[in-house]
A and B are shown apart, each in its own frame.
Chain A
Amino acid sequence: MSRPAPFVRFEDALRSGRAVVTCEIASGDSADAGDIVRRARLVRDHVDAVNVPDNTAGIVHVSALAASAILVREGIDPIMHVTCRDRNRLALQSDLLGASALGVRNLLCLTGDHMIHGDQPDAKPVFDLDSLQLLVLASVLRGGRYLSGRAIVPAPDLLPGATENPFAPPYDFRPQRLMKKIEAGARFIQTQITFNVARFAAFMKGVRDLGLDRRVPILAGVAPLRSARSARYMQERVPGMEVPDAIVRRMEQAGPERTRREDEGIRICVEIIEQLREIPGLAGFHVMPIHWEEAVAAIAERARLRPARATLAAPLVAGVLDEGPRPREHRA
């Protein structure tokens, strides 16, 4: 079987020099591929690549590898999240090889949320590697070797990326940790969700001082809030997230009516994108809509974010999409 060819490669977009836009979709919560396809189609025309999370917060979902392969069939270039929580180095190597064989090329190498916050806290935490060592592993595989040194012919075609969280202590160390990740083989960076732009700007200053923005493209994470309740939840309950009181207050003032609060959430997100645009050294944006894929189109339109594929001729789009088997259409 030949490798399915990704439609527009994420790497091409990163190289293009224009602002890149990626987004995350919620991974499927059932054996229905249609659910993943439906979510992916809501965002596909607005982004360069789609992130597929790997059991976020330690709650079991469809495997990131399977969901990524489904996206490849849809003509979308997925960014597969790979975490060290559930798999040791053997499983990670075989998953990365399998991903490459299925046409999944972009990896986001993460340590992974601890399962203590999930719904099965009794599971054994693996953490055989950490995110840095996972980046090294991906680079070793790319270079045509297993960790044992045994040769891989042909070597997997992988584009490993990493994250950094500018909003968690020790703040001064975060740019240095980013440097470590780049040294370990990260080829792109997606950050944690930004609500505190001042903190992000300070982080980027550290990044620029180390010259890291010239070495890899850095995409700033943003997310739309949907209600005052979710804003407060993120502020109080999600470790590593910083939601300033001013933003929670704005969401409260928007009131309980759905259209108004959702509109306010998107407006805040677009405002943050506009503020982030003023910060030198950013290559684009990573939207994390948190189960609200419909918001991506609105954010992209209002913030004037455009994927590379929008500039391609329409017949080519149709031609590529009609190729190959496609998963069953989900009819709601």
Chain B
Amino acid sequence: MPLTSSFKLEVPAGVRRFLRRHPRLTRALERVVLPIEATGKKIVFGCRMCGQCILHETGLTCPMGCPKTLRNGPCGGVRMNGHCEVVPEMMCVWVKAERRSRWLPWRRTIVRIQPSLDWSLAGTSAWVNVLAGRRGKETS
């Protein structure tokens, strides 16, 4: 089974190049997009604005809601009832992610190895980052 995702957001190279060449335009775009993105994703997914959104690969569940911010699956401390070891009243983010991902046609993406976060992108717009091709460095 390949671990590479079968569903990956690919932006035309032209768009990426254009936005990179025009940083002021990109910043302006971000100023418009950021409040919409932040509010929308916050309400719907409890977004933490890591700037490197992988919602679509984790069963539309934000992994940053995990107290250990695990982006690669559940820790070994999940309680028998599926709740978090740190916040006992909260359902484990990854139990939810795994359950929800079964409904997605691209469910295999949940086993893709997520690279470490690029903390310099925290608070920025993940959408603009995707458009401009700014993303966390692939560690592998």
Contacts and interface: CB of A to CB of B under 8 A. Distances in A.
Contacts of B114: 132-133
Interface in B90-136: 92, 94-95, 98-99, 110-111, 113-117, 119
B72 A240 contact: no
A82 to B, nearest CB: 15
A84 to B, nearest CB: 8
B85 A114 contact: yes
Given A170-B95, A239-B85, A130 B79 contact: no
A133 B3 contact: no
Contacts of A176: 110-111
B40 interface: no
Interface in B65-106: 67-82, 85-86, 92, 94-95, 98-99
Contact of B82 (A114, A128, A169): A169
Contacts of A192: 76
Interface stretch (A7-15, A179-187, A267-275, A296-304): A179-187
A147 B140 CA distance: 9
A169 B95 contact: yes
B74 A173 contact: yes
Interface stretch (A31-39, A160-168, A287-295): A160-168
B85 A240 contact: yes
Q: How large is the interface on B (under 10, 10 to 19, 20 to 34, 35 or more residues)?
A: 35 or more
Contacts of A168: 74-80
B121 to A, nearest CB: 14
A170 B75 contact: no
B48 to A, nearest CB: 13
Contacts of A111: 68, 70, 75-76
Contact of A179 (B76, B86, B94, B111): B111
Contacts of B80: 168-169, 242
A55 to B, nearest CB: 15
A264 to B, nearest CB: 24
B98 A114 contact: no
A239 B79 contact: yes
A197 interface: no
A15 B93 CA distance: 38
A245 interface: no
A95 interface: no
A52 B7 CA distance: 41
A133 B73 contact: no
B75 to A, nearest CB: 5
A128 B110 CA distance: 20
A192 B98 CA distance: 21
A280 interface: no
A240 B77 contact: yes
B76 A164 contact: yes
B28 to A, nearest CB: 32
Interface of B: 1, 3, 67-82, 85-86, 92, 94-95, 98-99, 110-111, 113-117, 119, 139-140
What 9 A-B pairs come out closest when comparing CB atoms?
Answer: A165-B76, A239-B85, A132-B72, A168-B78, A239-B77, A240-B77, A177-B73, A170-B98, A133-B116
